Chain A
Amino acid sequence: MKLLLVEDNRELSSWLTKLLIQSGYAVEQAFTGEEASQFLLTQSYNAILLDLMLPGIKGQTLLKQIRSKNNDVPVLIISAQDKLQDIIEHLNLGADDYLAKPFDIKELEARLRSLLRRASGKTNPVLSCGALHYDTNSKLFSCAGTVLALTPREHAVLEALIRFPGKTVAKKDLVDSLFTLEDTVSVKALEIYIVRLRKKIENSGAKIITLRGLGYMLTYVAE
């Protein structure tokens, strides 16, 4: 995978490059808009990481240039501007994602992976949260390589949760996911499944959080 990193701050650029190379990417560094423009004339990339505040040609102009040439290379904007209107404006101009500085490299790489996956046309059959993975083809949950043994009801609840990681899923929706398995589903029963699930995924970094009055959320919580 070949990336173009357009970032005028040489220090940030060099550290990001080191990290990305470590993760197995080939990285080309451009420090100005003009340089990036030159590279784009002769090279092709799998994705572009684009800073907005550049000397000379601005990131926004570069983005417009790329899209006007019908180049649909995925563009991930990394910017110190975090205003909602900036984000919306650039997504409208054709950016694929937007990440505000400072960011964690794990988040950058996660978003990059998702961009590359979408660009390759393959929808990843694996849903993840921390070290907990769910293969939608084989319908198997795994944690750090070990397949989890789940009852059909636990499986149904966890599947409903992992489809929206980091989002609150209403109790009612979870009860509905169980409805095909048993005729009368009580909230009490749901709470029991949640308790059991928590135990089974406790080493994955993924946690099931109770939000009183709302429902449950599966999310990654740093220790």
Chain B
Amino acid sequence: MSLNDLIRLRSLKSRLIVWVFMPIALIVAVDLVGTYHSTEQIATTIQQQLLHGSAKMISEQLVFSDGGYEISVPPAAFELFENKFQDHVYFSVRSKDGKLIAGDDELAAYEESLPIEEERYFVARLHGEVVRVIVFAHALPDSSTGDYAITQVAQTLLSHENFREGLFFSAIGRHLLLLAITIASLVISLKWTLSPLKEFSRELLQRQSGSLEKLDGYNAPSELDPVIRALNEYVERLNRTLSSYEKFVANTAHHLRTSFAIIASQINFAKRAKVHDQVQREVLDAIQKTLGDCTKVINQLLVLASIEQQDAASADDVQISEIIMAVIDEMAPLAYQKHIELGIDVFDDSVRVAAPARLLHELIANLIDNAIVHMGKAGEVVISLRRQTDHVLLSVTDDGVGIPPALQQKVLERFFRIDESRAGSSGLGLAIVKEICDRLKAQLSLHTPASGAGLQVDIRFPLSVKAN
């Protein structure tokens, strides 16, 4: 999947992931902000309670004696704060006019008014550290004057922060676990849910390229039903189009062949007439030859039109040597006319190839015809057939003018001719060979033979599974 696809959410997977994962992530984020605040609150409340307990314990020890106040601070008031974080704790007890009775002077007197038996909390700086401070007003014992003392206890924030962080990190941990479980189950469920889709596309890919059978969706999930229905409708339309195309080809073929048959009879009739001068005879021969060339092109075009229609599945398991022999018999007179010796070299006549016999015949006929027509001089055309480890190799070699390497791919195109003026060439022969090879999954290669002159065409057929 490319980044572009991801951005445009081309894939169902990314859509699902985005639309399930994103909201969950958002909820988690919002919840984490709330959790942060509540952990701060919890930690602060706990520290305040400790401060409150300590302040109460200290102030309760305040006694009036000898006209002044005395206090003996109990160790328990500081033991309350004991923990591994080694927080600094400070305290001060002052009279209502701000006179320090006991404790640290650095804890400044509380300036604002404070009702008796009430406390205030605030945060201040002491010795360069941030501390939370409790201010507690405590009515003095044995005092009828409404006198009171102000106790302050301060603690640095180390344990408070550690406690808060502990709470928060454990919350983050739980949230991450939740997200991980969500992603994992998303991935698993997507894989599981989308597997029929994959299976379906694999089945589609495995179909024969010419297959116009309808799909049956009996084991596909119901969500695919509309897709299968649409595909089937498309197949039906394609089928109708193809059959009208086939009809068109058949009608054209019928019409052209009938017309050519008329012209052939007319020429035959004219040639049989008694009165002829030399020119007339030459013209009639020329027309007859042109008619032969036209017939060849029409037949080649019809072969091209029918290659796609040929059902490769109906492949016969054929002894290819028999077809080669039949083609050699057909081609021998043409080769003789062009002073070309036709023959075989290494020839394993036991090999079999799985292919429709008609296609093989067209393939070999066009191959040999092409070699004969394009020799350009007297020479030889040699056919060899051998079995190699994993294929059957058919080679047709001539010692003619050859094809320059730069044009060896070009000549496989329909109607491409190196020499436009050459008679008997339609520019279709090798195109037919190429297209039939593609249809039969055979490999076609053109090169200059070892002798250095001419053309060698190699065709490698897959071995027939049944035989060989």
Please report A residues at the B interface, Cβ cutoff 8 Å: 9, 11-12, 15-16, 18-19, 22, 53, 78, 80-84, 100-106, 166-168, 207, 209-214, 217, 219-222
Contact = CB atoms under 8 A, between A and B. Distances in A.
A12 B262 contact: yes
Contacts of B264: 102-105
Contacts of A211: 328, 332, 341-344
Given A15-B269, A212-B342, A102 B295 contact: yes
A101 B261 contact: yes
B325 to A, nearest CB: 7
Given A209-B335, A211-B332, A15 B265 contact: yes
B382 interface: yes
A213 B345 contact: yes
A177 to B, nearest CB: 19
Nearest to B295: A102
Contact of B254 (A53, A106, A222): A53
Contact of A168 (B266, B291, B328): B328
B265 A19 contact: yes
A104 B258 CA distance: 13
B245 interface: no
B344 A102 contact: no
Given A9-B262, A15-B262, A213-B343, A80 B336 contact: no
Nearest to B335: A209
Interface string B21-49: 00000000000000000000000000000
Closest 9 A-B residue pairs measured CB to CB? A212-B343, A15-B265, A80-B257, A102-B260, A213-B344, A105-B268, A102-B261, A101-B261, A101-B257
Given A80-B254, A105-B264, A210-B341, 14 more contacts: A9-B258, A11-B262, A15-B262, A15-B266, A15-B269, A78-B261, A83-B358, A102-B291, A104-B268, A105-B268, A168-B329, A213-B345, A213-B347, A221-B333
Contacts of B357: 84
A81 B250 CA distance: 8
Contact of A19 (B258, B272, B343, B358): B272
B332 A168 contact: yes
Given A214-B328, A217-B329, A209 B336 contact: yes
B238 interface: no
Interface of B: 250, 253-254, 257-258, 260-266, 268-269, 272, 291, 295, 299, 325, 328-329, 332-333, 335-337, 341-345, 347, 357-358, 380, 382
Given A15-B266, A19-B269, A212-B382, A219 B258 contact: no
Given A102-B264, A219-B332, A80 B258 contact: yes
A219 B342 CA distance: 14
A221 B258 CA distance: 26
A18 B262 CA distance: 12
Contacts of A81: 250, 253-254
B398 to A, nearest CB: 13
A18 B269 contact: yes
Given A19-B268, A22-B269, A12 B261 contact: yes
Contacts of A80: 253-254, 257-258, 261
Contacts of A78: 261
Interface of A is mostly: mixed
A213 B382 CA distance: 9
A167 B327 CA distance: 10
Nearest to B299: A82
B329 A207 contact: no
A212 B291 CA distance: 31
A11 B262 CA distance: 7
A222 B342 CA distance: 18
Nearest to A216: B332
26 contacts: A9-B262, A15-B266, A18-B265, A18-B269, A22-B269, A53-B254, A84-B357, A84-B358, A101-B257, A101-B261, A102-B257, A102-B263, A102-B264, A102-B295, A103-B261, A105-B264, A168-B325, A168-B328, A207-B336, A209-B342, A211-B328, A211-B342, A211-B343, A212-B380, A213-B382, A221-B333
Contacts of A22: 269, 272
Contact of A209 (B269, B272, B332): B332
A129 B272 CA distance: 20
Given A16-B265, A168-B329, A221-B333, A212 B341 contact: yes
A210 B343 CA distance: 8
Contacts of B260: 101-102
Contacts of A11: 262
A61 B188 CA distance: 64
A47 to B, nearest CB: 18
Contacts of A212: 341-344, 380, 382
Contact of A105 (B257, B265, B343): B265
Contacts of A105: 264-265, 268
A148 B180 CA distance: 102
A72 to B, nearest CB: 27
A100 B342 contact: no
Contacts of A15: 262, 265-266, 269
A220 B341 CA distance: 16
Nearest to A214: B344
B269 to A, nearest CB: 6
B322 to A, nearest CB: 12
A103 B260 CA distance: 9
Contacts of A104: 264, 268
Nearest to B258: A9
Contacts of B341: 210-212
Nearest to A80: B257
Contacts of A102: 257, 260-261, 263-264, 291, 295
Contacts of A19: 265, 268-269, 272
Nearest to A164: B329
B324 to A, nearest CB: 10
A168 B329 CA distance: 6
A70 B329 CA distance: 37
